[in-house]
């Protein structure tokens, strides 16, 4: 049920939710993943929500057979990021 809330929050927000590329969720939780930002040209984060299509080409490896794994820690209450 939270997916639509997340998307609605992204539509009305001036900031974009970003997911970080990481090998595993435990590595993501420990903070050992890259922190370069998609909005600054980084390829280790992915913009989520309605603006995601604008950043697709910046995310290297997203179309490879193995792809990339991206993680985002959402909040309990809205806004969810």
Write out the chain's pLDDT in tens, 81 residues: 578 888 888 887 888 888 888 888 999 999 888 665 555 445 688 888 888 887 776 666 656 666 678 898 888 888 887
Q: What is the reported pTM?
A: 0.67
Burial class (CB in 10 A: 0-12, 13-18, 19+), 1: exposed
Question: How many angstroms separate the CA atoms of 75 and 49, rounded?
Answer: 16
Residue 58 contacts residue 64 (beta carbons within 8 Å): no
Handedness of CA 60, 32, 69, 41 (dihedral sign): negative
């Amino acid at each position: 049920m939270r997916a639509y809330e997340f998307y609605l929050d992204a539509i009305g927000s001036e900031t974009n939710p970003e997911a970080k590329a990481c090998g595993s969720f435990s590595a993501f939780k420990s903070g050992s993943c890259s922190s370069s930002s998609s909005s600054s040209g980084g390829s280790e984060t992915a913009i989520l929500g309605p603006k995601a299509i604008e950043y697709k080409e910046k995310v290297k490896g997203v179309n490879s057979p193995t792809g990339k794994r991206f993680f985002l820690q959402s909040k309990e209450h809205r806004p969810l990021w």
